[in-house]
Amino acid sequence: MSAQPPEQDAGTPAATSAGTPPLPPTPSHTVGPFFGYALPFPDGGSPAPAGHPDAVTLHGRVWDGAGAPVPDALVELWQPDPAGRLPQLCGSMRRDAATGGHAGRNGVDFTGFARVATDAAGHWSVRTLPPGARAGCAPYVGVCLFARGLLHHLFTRVYFPEHAAANAADPLLASLPAERRETLVAAAEDERRSTPGASGTHRSYRFDIRMQGERETVFLEFPEPRESRG
Amino acid sequence: MSLSQHEIDREIAALREEYEEARAAGAPRADHPARDYPPYRSSTLRHPRQPLVPVRGDPETTELHTPVFGDTDVTALDNDLTRQHAGEPLGERITVSGRVTDTRGRPVRGQLIELWQANAAGRYAHPRDQHPAPLDPNFTGAGRTLTDDDGRYTFTTIKPGAYPWRNHDNAWRPAHLHLSLFGSAFAQRLVTQMYFPGDPLFPYDPILQSVTDESARRRLVAAYDHELSVAERSLGFRWDIVLDGPSATWFEEGR
């Protein structure tokens, strides 16, 4: 199913016109401890279409500043397909119109969006397609992290170790000191056989998120381009 | 561990004073809570100590585009939390409606809003909520909707109850709805909470007070709107939402 991407319209009467100050944003708040029955959804961690031969596993743990796992975090991923195109497809959290319950993904489309909660060990896991490169950057998966205790979500990125040359030229990675850069590059794990009977192998990557302290993950912000405001 | 409300109040007041002094000295307005906010104890080990790294995006930047949701992701009744079970939930039936825009006032169209909340007694339908208030067999407390072409949304639900939590001794959260929003870019993602006007618990709550700017705090409180009240049915609240962060569409418009 295709859907129109959300768009913004500069031509409505409510739009701020040139020279007027931007509207102040609605403040963020923590996702709290009780999102578990509302936000996660079946197949949230399986954006790769069923049986896709190129699917990879991306997984890791979320750690707090004392080195304890974070068992109540929510990890969201947003990424291009292997050709570097950003999907404009709905259906990530498809509903069953008869029961109102979740129907799971349709098994065909790649929406580029995943959402998983961490388990009691702070572990999350997603089965996805490897992202392709988009102009000017090495291939990466965008990440947004929410948790109880986190008053304002955090963005980070997962880069992949096999793209060493592209990673070296990536503007974000290149801007970071080496020890911080490493926090954004997933570790390749041994190739594993996929499900018994399936042909071939699939790749698996480990990406831990350290919210604070030693080897703290690099977190990102996306400032509004002030110079072009109004 | 068992800090008193009084001690929490003092910490809240000290941090607000610090913010107001910084503002008077020319610091920018803080629209969002600081991630390190000691009165909210759980923030202590769950915030980065390193500064965030700014990414100056361009129209190709993945985070300046958004996942898409649509009619397959939301069914027609999903925005009415009072109709998910055989019977009517207990509590005060309410309508919450408003408009989602970016900081330029442009509507966020056709985008997903998710809502979750406690029931009228202040209990979540979540197995880890141990608050000894009754569960309501006719209320789950989770819903979703898509904004319309003007960025508008509407939910019908019941007013949630206040509930206790263990941040400090005798800690209570004011009644609130949790909302999750997608904008026109992943960078505009927002999870927040909406409060009800006039709640006496506001000054005691370190989560609301983590927004140290008074005008920003007020933006988290819905307004009673009689026009939205439905005769003999429900009370209406208006809550408009503004998402910040850049979007690729801005570049396409030559901004």
Q: What are phi and psi of A62, to 5 degrees?
A: -105, 130
A122 chain-B contacts, CB cut-off 8 A = none
Each residue of A53-112: pLDDT tens digit? 999 999 999 999 999 999 999 999 999 999 999 999 999 999 998 888 999 999 999 999
Cα distances from A118 to residues A41, A108, A210, A217, B193, in angstroms, run: 13, 26, 13, 17, 22
Cβ–Cβ gap B40/A151 under 8 Å: yes
Distance CA A130, CA A202 (A): 11
Query: What are the structural domain ranges in chain A?
Result: 56-220
Catalytic residues of B, which ones? 124, 163, 173, 176, 178
How many CA within 13 A on the CB side of residue B192?
Answer: 30
ipTM value of the model? 0.97
CATH code (residue B201):
2.60.130.10
Measured distance CA(A26)–CA(B192) in Å, rounded = 8
How many domains is chain B partitioned into structurally? Answer: 1
Considering only CB atoms, B242 lies closest to which of A23, A94, A225, namely A23
Residue A230's pLDDT is 39
C-alpha–C-alpha distance, residues B176 and B172, integer Å:
12
**pTM of the entire predicted model:** 0.94
Does B52 reside within a domain? no
Assign domain A56-220 to a CATH class.
mainly beta
pLDDT at position B254 is 53
* Positions in chain B whose pLDDT score sits under 70: 1, 252-255
Nearest CA in chain B to A100: B75
B84 alpha carbon, distance to own chain's centre: 22
Are B184 and A7 an interchain contact pair (Cβ–Cβ within 8 Å)? yes
Answer yes or no: do B103 and A224 touch at CB < 8 A: yes
CB within 8 Å: A78 and B219: no
Q: Residue A9: how many CB atoms within 10 A of its CB?
A: 19
Residue A1, pLDDT > 50, answer no
pLDDT at A11: 38
Closest by Cβ to B72, choosing from A1, A86, A135: A1
* Site of tokens 């401890």: A33
B177/B141 Cα distance (integer angstroms): 9
Of A66, A88, A212, the CB nearest to B48: A212
A66 and B45 in contact by Cβ < 8 A? yes
Is residue B54, in this structure, part of any structural domain at all?
no
- CB contacts, 8 Å: A34 with chain B: 116, 118, 124, 126, 128-129
At B12, which amino acid appears?
I
Q: Compare CB distances from A222 to B184, B217, B246 and report the shortest one's residue.
A: B246
Task: Kindly state whether residue B218 falls inside one of the protein's structural domains.
Answer: yes
Under 8 Å between Cβ of B122 and B162? yes
The amino acid that residue A48 corresponds to is A
> Is B58 inside any structural domain?
no
Nearest C-alpha of chain B: how many angstroms from A201? 28
Residue B148's CB: how many other CB atoms inside 10 A? 14
**Helix or strand or coil: residue A16?**
coil
Query: What sign does the CA torsion over A207, A112, A154, A125 have?
Result: negative
> What is the C-alpha to C-alpha distance for residues A174 and A167, in angstroms, rounded to an integer?
8
Residue of B nearest to A151 (CA): B35
Q: What would the pLDDT profile of A182-211 be if each residue is shown by its tens digit? A: 999 999 997 655 555 455 568 999 999 999
Identify whether the C-beta of residue B141 lies closer than 8 Å to the C-beta of residue B117. Answer: yes
Which residue in B194, B185, B204 sits closest to B243, CA to CA? Answer: B185
- Give me the pLDDT at residue A200, please: 57
Q: What is the pLDDT of residues A95-132, one digit of tens each?
A: 998 888 999 999 999 999 999 999 999 999 999 999 99
Let me know the angle formed at the C-alpha of A213 by A119 and A27, rounded to the nearest 5 degrees. 70
Proportion of chain A above pLDDT 70, given as a percent: 85
Distance from CA of A88 to the nearest CA of B (A): 6
Residues on chain B touching A95 (C-beta within 8 angstroms):
72-75, 78
Task: Please give the full DSSP string across A92-132, using - where no structure is assigned.
Answer: TT-B-TTTSSB----SS---SEEEEE--TTSEEEEEEPPPP
Q: Is it the case that residue A15 has pLDDT exceeding 70?
A: no
Does residue A6 surpass a pLDDT of 80?
no
Position B2 scores a pLDDT of 81
Residue B56 included in any domain: no
Domain extent, residue B132, equals 5-46+64-252
| Dihedral of alpha carbons A31, A33, A39, A45, sign | positive
pLDDT of residue B255: 47
Digit-coded pLDDT (tens) for A131-148: 999 999 999 999 999 999
Interface touch A24/B242, C-beta < 8 Å = yes
CB-defined contacts A:B, below 8 A: 309
Distances (CA, A) of B168 to A71, B163, B164: 21, 13, 10
Phi and psi torsions of B9, nearest 5°: -60, -40
B109 to chain A nearest CA, in Å? 5
